[in-house]
Structure 1
Amino acid sequence: MSLSIARAWPSKFCAPAQRAFQQARSAHTKRTIQVQLKDDVPGLGMFGSVQTVSPGRMRNLLYPLGKADYILRGVGPRLLLRPENSTSESDNGRTDLAKLTERLLALPPLIFRRRVRTRAATSTLKPIYGSVTTTEISQYISEHFKFLLAPPDAILMLPAVGNIRPTKLKALGTYEVEVLLRDGQTVTITVQVDEQVD
C-alpha cells in the first residue's frame, strides 16, 4: 500500500490569477466619518452638532447608546429638536434665535462669482466650473456678516429640483435658499451666482 501525502503548495507557486486578487492594506491609515450628535457628549460636542469621529467609536459606543446618527452621503445633517423632558430652552436662547432671525432678514443678496463652462451642452441653464455649496454660503456669512449658521441652530437648504434637494448650486442664476431654524421657523435668503469676468 502506498500512501500519498498531499502538500499545500507555497504561495510563490500559486497561479498568477490568485496572487492578483490579494488585497493590500495600510496599517497606518486613519479613517474618520461625520456623525450628528443626538445628545450632549462630554469631550465631543453638543446636541445636534456635526462631529468627526472614528468608525469604531461610532459603531461601538455612540450609535448603540443612541447618542449619534450617521450622516448619509448627499443628504447632510438634519435639524434635531430636543425631547420635551430635557432641559427647556432659556429666555436667553429665545432672544438669540430672535436676533439670528432679524440678522437673516436684513441680509442683502449673497453674490458668488464663478467661471462659466463654455463647452457645456446647450440649455437654458449656464453651468459653472465647480459649485457653490451650503458650506461656502455659511462661511461667506460668517466672514462678511460675523454670525454663524450651523447645526444645531440652523441648517441651510437649497431649492428643490423635483423631489430632490441638492447640496450644491451648479449653474448661474438667483436662488432662494431656506434657512431652517431650531424652533422650526424658516427664513429665506437670496444667493446669486454670477459670471466671473477675468
Structure 2
Amino acid sequence: MKRFIDLCLALVAIFILLIPIVFLAILVKLTSKGPVVYWSDRVGKHSKIFKMPKFRTMRVDTPAVATHLLPDPQQFLTSIGPFLRRSSLDELPQLWSILKGDMSFVGPRPALFNQDDLIGLRVVHGVDQIPPGLTGWAQVNGRDELPIPEKVKLDEYYLKNQSISMDIKIIALTFIKVVRRDDVAH
C-alpha cells in the first residue's frame, strides 16, 4: 500500500512541479559549470547502494563527503547553492528515486556510502530494512542538527511505529520546517 501511495504522490508531484523543476534545472545550468543533477552514492534498503539525484549545489571539484566534513563548505557552493539548500528545492530530483522504488516519501534519510558510523548503527537497529525517504521522523525532529546516535533512535522509532497517519504527520511537519527553514545547517 505504501509503495502505491508513493507512486501516486510522486506522479502528482512531478506533474504539479514540472515547470519549477525545469526552471531550476535551467538556473543551475546557467549559473555554474557541470551537470544540472548531482548523483550521489547512497545507502538504501538492505544497505544496497543506489544513485540518488539532487540539483547540484556545489562545484564539480567538491570532494564526495558529507558537507559538514568539508573544512569550509561555503567555498564549494555554487551561486544558487545556498538558496537551493535552504529551500530544500535541491531535493526535487529525488522524486525520480521514489518512482524507481529506491526511496519512499517517508523513511530514514539515505546515508552517504561512506557514512560508516550511521550505516552501522542503522543495521544494528534494523533501520536498514526499510526504504530511505525524502523526509523522515529524524528530519522533523532536528534535521541537520542531530548527532548520529539520536538520528538512529528516531529512525528506529519510525521503523517500529510507521503508519499512513504517521507518514502524513511527517510530511506536514516537513512542509512547516521547510517553510520556516528550521534546523538547516547549510
Q: From the CA coordinates, give the structure whose radius of gyration is larger.
A: 1
Q: Which has the higher strand share?
A: 1
The structure with more helix, counted as a fraction of residues: 2
TM-score (norm 1): 0.21
TM-score (norm 2): 0.22
> Which gives a bigger RCO, structure 1 or 2 (Cα 8 Å, sep 6+)?
2
